[in-house]
Structure 1
Amino acid sequence: MINSTSLSEITILHSKLFQQFPELRFGFSTKKGGVSHIPYGLNLSYMVGDDPNHVDENRERFF
């Protein structure tokens, strides 16, 4: 089962399968709420050609 949490503009998806491991912080991000231009959105990777400054800001928002 997948649940979601919204933090302002950002949505983080959580799986109940990982709740049995309280020491593990786990979630899936979506593209919604990022500062990067389409198609990157909330891109968190420096390896896909996105502006590194946008990636820094996206990581700050997500983490």
Structure 2
Amino acid sequence: MKLTYRGYDYNPTHISITMTNTDEKATYRGVSYYVQQAQKLPTVPPHQFTYRGISYGLSSKDLCTE
């Protein structure tokens, strides 16, 4: 499916993440649920951006905090 944002066409990417339930139980607005945790996070390829003529890049270590 091709999408358009501010005149630029792009194809969306979908990443599937396998989740597992933990023993932690939480409550939100009176509804109880078990907290889920990702088994393995997907790797993010490095990105190169340009803002007002200045190039900068982001790597996967900049995006993920532990």
Do they fold alike, i.e. is TM over 0.5? no
**Structure with greater Cα Rg:** 2
Bigger strand share: 2
- Greater share of helix: 1
Per the normalisation by structure 2, the TM-score is 0.28
TM-score w.r.t. length of structure 1: 0.29
